[in-house]
Chains A and B, each alone.
Chain A
Amino acid sequence: MGQLLQQVLSGLATGAVYASLALALVMIHQATESVNFAQGEMAMFSTYIAWMFVQAGVPFWIAFVLTVAISFLGGVLIERILIRPVESAPVLSQVIVFIGLLVIFNSTAGWIFTYTVQEFPSPFGDTPLLGDMITSSELGVIGVTLIVLALLYVFFRFTPLGFAMRAAAQNPESARLVGIRVGWMLAIGWGLAAAVGAVAGIMVAPVLFLDPNMMSGVLLYAFAAALLGGISSPGGAVVGGLVVGVLENLVGTYLIATELKLTVALAVIIIILVVKPSGLFGTVMVKRV
């Protein structure tokens, strides 16, 4: 029983990371109807930026804030420079651009930082808490994720800019007719997704260690999480992330070899696509003509 609870809690910690990245995927999908395959590599690159700051002696939390800010700007720039020209192109062209981005970030990181695996510091230490149920780093990851999610919720729900972004994602044509600069809303959406991804990368790096391929598995879990929750539902992505994290841990502990854990993500993806393509919380739009 103790072991079960321990596995669930540590699953929640990794699940929180999946949830963040899944949320980033959903945010882009809401606005563009396509899935950003480079989201994981962007997060990886952000993590390297944080690592550089830390190497240069910048205190962890300052490095964290700087990295998130730089990632936001980077996301905005990527949208303005690379995504905007293919905005109205067919989905397949967009997918090619996303895959191109993935390869660019991956090989650029390899070129600048080499493929050597680096250690990444955890700001929360590794103290066992609650009678060895959970470690301080796991608790820290869950806490940081919750804070980020709460901030995003408040932003989208209660600020005029967040409101305009939701409107622009829902109905770009009409949004233009009330004067919303839809192009910039998209760019800010990319910025926010990149920033959330950066948080996910920094949180998961102490566990996975830092290398240019660190996020490929995480991205797969994030896909599974986003699909499970419903690709159209930000709240669903979060729940999906937590469920996938816990599921992965339990299945890995009790059912199959750890090496096969990634299969869980793929199984989830396939089952969801077959059984309930809209996911658990995917909204069914009410429309009257």
Chain B
Amino acid sequence: MRTALLEVSGLKAAYGPTEVLHGIAFKLDEGGITALLGANGAGKTTTLRAVCGTVARSGEIRLMGKRIDHKATEDIVRLGVAQVPEGRGTFVNLSVEENLKIGAYIRRARDGVARDIERMYQYFPLLAERRRQQAGTLSGGEQQMLAIARALMLRPRLLVLDEPSFGLAPLVVASIFHIMETVRREERVSILLVEQNAALALELADHAYLLETGRVVMAGTAQEFQRNEQVRRSYLGI
């Protein structure tokens, strides 16, 4: 059997004394897109944080078969996990181009960086127009694009996206998800996606997990989710 790119089991996480993940399990195949769905407070964002080591966690997290659950964030990043956090994590005082450059910080070879920046501008032409602009002055949609582009500059194996649609106009969201389709094809990157907008997430993803108050209550392929009566009623609004 092929080992999964990311395999999580018995994952617990807590903010201080409050445990918010009560032992969840999921996996993500190489090249796949897995979506974590659920209502507000289900623990989706915390799951991503636990994977990236930005919250206190216990349980098993394996990246390519190797345990990463005791590693610090910087070291997980160095193994090829790029996270686009909630709030996008933009360096607001740096220019757009500097944000992209800092995304490639851990890459030893410097020569590919300029080429990658140009490729990001092809994915996101809006960023190219604003390359010298201070990142803090971008619109929400542009900042989201910048955050994704910055994460891709790492040439990650695993891209972790937290609510890319958050606070954005529907048209902007549609355009970002459209670009993500292209990115997935071209960059051959696996994606772990958290999204409120389940309909959108299921169009992009191949597998999904439904979280409720810190537990996985349903797992399956995106098609299974789309056909499931209860999911349709509660999360897809159909």
The interface of chain A, by Cβ under 8 A from chain B, is 160, 163-164, 166-167, 170-171, 173-182, 283, 285-288
Of all chain A residues, the one with the shortest Cβ separation from B98 is A163
Of all chain A residues, the one with the shortest Cβ separation from B88 is A174
State whether A178 touches B103 (Cβ < 8 A): yes
Most buried by B among A163, A170, A177, A285: A177
Query: How near does chain A come to B29, taking the closest CB pair, in angstroms?
Result: 24
Asked if A163 meets B89 with Cβ closer than 8 Å, knowing A178-B154, A286-B137, A288-B137, the reply is no
> Told that A177-B52, A179-B154 touch, could you supply 15 new A-B pairs with CB distance under 8 A?
A166-B94, A167-B94, A167-B102, A170-B92, A170-B94, A174-B91, A176-B72, A176-B74, A178-B77, A178-B102, A179-B77, A286-B92, A286-B137, A288-B136, A288-B138
Asked if A170 meets B85 with Cβ closer than 8 Å, knowing A181-B74, A288-B137, the reply is no
The interface of chain B, by Cβ under 8 A from chain A, is 52, 54, 72-74, 77-78, 82-83, 85, 89-94, 98, 101-103, 105-106, 134, 136-140, 143, 150, 154
- Residues on A with C-beta less than 8 A from B94 are 166-167, 170
State whether B136 touches A179 (Cβ < 8 A): no
> What are 7 inter-chain pairs, A to B, with CB distance below 8 A?
A163-B98, A163-B101, A174-B91, A177-B83, A178-B82, A179-B77, A180-B102
Interface of A is mostly: helix
B91's contact among A167, A283, A288, by CB below 8 Å, is which?
A167
Query: How near does chain B come to A158, taking the closest CB pair, in angstroms?
Result: 12
Asked if A179 meets B105 with Cβ closer than 8 Å, knowing A170-B93, A173-B89, the reply is yes
Most buried by B among A166, A176, A179, A283: A179
State whether B92 touches A287 (Cβ < 8 A): yes
Query: How near does chain A come to B168, taking the closest CB pair, in angstroms?
Result: 13
How far apart are the CA atoms of A214 and B140 in the complex, in Å? 52
Sort A-B residue pairs by CB-CB distance and give the 8 closest, nearest first: A174-B89, A179-B106, A179-B77, A176-B73, A286-B136, A178-B105, A167-B102, A179-B78
